[in-house]
Each structure stands twice: as C-alpha cells, then as structure tokens.
Amino acid sequence: MEDLDRFAQMLEDAQRVVLFTGAGISTESGIPDFRSPGTGLWTKIKPIEFQDFLDSEDVRQESWSRRFSAERTIENAVPNKGHEACARLIESGKATAVITQNIDNLHLESGIPADQIIELHGNSTYAKCLQCEMRYEMADLESQFEATGRVAPCSACGGIIKSATISFGQAMPVEEVRRAEAVTLECDLFVVIGSSLVVFPAADLPVLGKQVGAGLVIVNREPTPLDEIADLVLHREIGPSMSYVVGIN
C-alpha cells in the first residue's frame, strides 16, 4: 500500500489537480477498452477511419450497424468507483477538471458538472450533421435505422450525419483542445487514469503538465510510454485504487 499512500499524500498536497481518463476507467462498468490484451475491442474489430466514413455510404451504414449493436454496452453502463472517485475530487474542489478520451458520457452521469468535463474525443450518446452541425438524438436515428436499414442524410442540409465522436483521421475539436491545454498549464498535479497513452495529441497533455512543473501520476494496469517520466506509477486496478486514495468504500 506504500504506493497508494504516496498517491494519497500527493493529492493531499496538491491544490489544482487535473484528471485525465481513458477507456480503462470504464472497463469496470462493462465497457471494453481498445487495447487490453484479449478483451480490447481492437483484438476483435477494426476501427473505421474518418475518410472511409466520408467516402462510402456502405461504410457509413456499417458504422451505424456497429453503433446500434456492439456499443449497446455504453448505453447500459453506469458509473463505477473510478468515476465516483473523480467526482469526489471535483466536488471537493481538489480537482479542477476531468479531461477524458472517453465517449461514454459516464463522467457526466457520475454528477460532474458539464463545464468541468472536457471531452477530447466527443460523445457517442448523440449525433451531429458534419455540415450544419444540427444535433440528432440516437434513439430517433436508431428507429430510422431499424425501419429503413439506413440513416438518411441531414433533413436540414443534406449533409452526412455522424455520431458526435472523433474518429481516427478526424480533426480534434479546437475548443476542447484549447481548454484541455489551459487547465493542464494551470495544474500542479496531473493524474492519468486508465489510458495506454498512445493516442495523440491527447497523450501530449501529461508531457505538457510535466513541462510546466506539475507532478505526474499514472494509474494503469499495464505499462505506458510515459511511465518513465512519471513521479508515481501504479500498475493497479482503477476502482479499488481510486476508492482507497479518496476514501470511499
């Protein structure tokens, strides 16, 4: 427990913590991550690149078909101890923001105010027209997909509708990246929770934090490329570790 006690002490000493979460925080809610050996989604299914989605109607419909089947796990999931611990740190004022790579909406569902959650890779619980940005609710698109076998173009402008997530090859959301950098520049402790830290530019943020003098803690079952620059690395399970350091059962 020495490492956990050290983590708890680092949290105690810090004034402005930034929490940076990846798919690993949601595996305890039953949502598979991408890269865990054996269970990660990518051991089973190839991701759809943004350009392929734009280029092909068939690829778009394949993506909707996946959304309305495999990703059901996201709709049925509820926040776990890891999310709860993050919410505690935000609520107490110890942490200023959660920067997340996740698209599952579980930080919001755990009670963290929307303005303290920065979603770098968007959100899969709704969709948007890529042209006019009109918002579409998933339940409506799903009914349409079930009835017609497809999701039609935007009713307002004829543009392509896509889940509001950032795909590989798609530009990062400018405002979210700006906010993520701003909170990182202001923090004195940057805590990575459940990310393999191989997706860029998101994985640049812990490095930025270090560059401006913040401490860096990484909580991840497996090693990451940034372990060597971290002040503390916990190769542990997220739920029990985070519960311990914030003092929840």
Interface positions with ligand NAD (CB under 6 A): 22-24, 26-28, 31, 33-36, 40-41, 101-104, 121, 194-196, 199, 220-222, 237-238
Helix (H) or strand (E) holding 94: none
CB of 93 to ligand NAD, least distance (A): 26
CB of 148 to ligand NAD, least distance (A): 28
Q: Of 36 and 116, which has the nearer Cβ to ligand NAD? A: 36
Annotated catalytic residue: which of 83, 107, 121, 235? 121
Q: Of 117 and 154, which has the nearer Cβ to ligand NAD? A: 117
Backbone torsion region of residue 227, taken as left when φ is above 0, otherwise alpha when ψ lies between -120 and 50, otherwise beta: alpha
Yes or no: say if 113 and 86 are a contact pair by the CB < 8 Å rule. no
Q: Of 116 and 163, which has the nearer Cβ to ligand NAD? A: 163
Q: Which of 44, 41, 46, 10 shows the shortest CA–CA distance to 168?
A: 46
Indicate if 235 belongs to the active site. no
Task: Fill in the amino acid letter for 86.
Answer: C
Yes or no: say if 67 and 87 are a contact pair by the CB < 8 Å rule. no
CB of 149 to ligand NAD, least distance (A): 26
Helix (H) or strand (E) holding 207: helix 204-211
Tell me which DSSP letter residue 173 carries: P
What SS3 string covers 102-156?
CCCCHHHHCCCCHHHEEECCEEEEEEEECCCCCEEEHHHHHHHHHHHCCCCCCCC
CB of 52 to ligand NAD, least distance (A): 17
CB of 156 to ligand NAD, least distance (A): 28
Helix (H) or strand (E) holding 87: helix 81-91
Helix (H, G, I), strand (E, B) or coil at 193: strand
For the stretch 95-109, what's the b/e string if a residue is b when 16 or more beta carbons lie within 10 angstroms of its beta carbon? bbbbbbbbbbbbbbe
Q: Which of 178, 53, 31 shows the shortest CA–CA distance to 106?
A: 31
Q: Of 194 and 206, which has the nearer Cβ to ligand NAD? A: 194
Q: Of 102 and 154, which has the nearer Cβ to ligand NAD? A: 102
Active site residues: 121
